[in-house]
Amino acid sequence: LRVYNPFDIVPMGFADLDKIKQLYGKEPPYVLCPDGFKAIIDSLEYTLPNYVQVGTGYQLKGFIVPVKGAVDVFNRSQVFIDEIEIQHSCFTYLHLLNAPLTYGAPKIWPPKYIVAKKLNR
């Protein structure tokens, strides 16, 4: 049995890298893929071998965490990485499978929003 979160980039490795560029919707309240990440994805698409998952995969009903606060050139990458971490979290998979959360789960799950902290540069 293979299940996957449609907003988790890890299962997209190799075959669906291009989807990452448009993954988390429009701003605001979400964050688009930063240009630097898009350039990395473009270069990886030409260097990684083709790979296809075996067997049937079952897509779970995912969710995107909205961003609270301003997203700008200085914090865009961190906000994008925060969303990636939440989407790949074991707690997100437990939530999507309607399984009980285990020890160590945050008090509020799924998270209501990601805080886009203003970075002074």
Which tens digit of pLDDT belongs to each residue from 16-73? 888 899 888 777 788 889 999 999 988 887 787 777 777 788 999 999 999 999 888 8
Residue 79, number of CB atoms within 10 A of its CB: 25
Query: CA–CA separation, 5 vs 24, rounded Å?
Result: 13
Q: Which of 121, 2, 120, 115 is nearest to 57 (CA)?
A: 2
Looking at the predicted structure, is the pLDDT value of residue 120 above 70? no
Looking at the predicted structure, is the pLDDT value of residue 115 above 80? yes
Rounded to two decimals, what is the model's pTM?
0.87
Domain ranges of the chain: 2-115
Which tens digit of pLDDT belongs to each residue from 10-28? 888 777 888 899 888 777 7
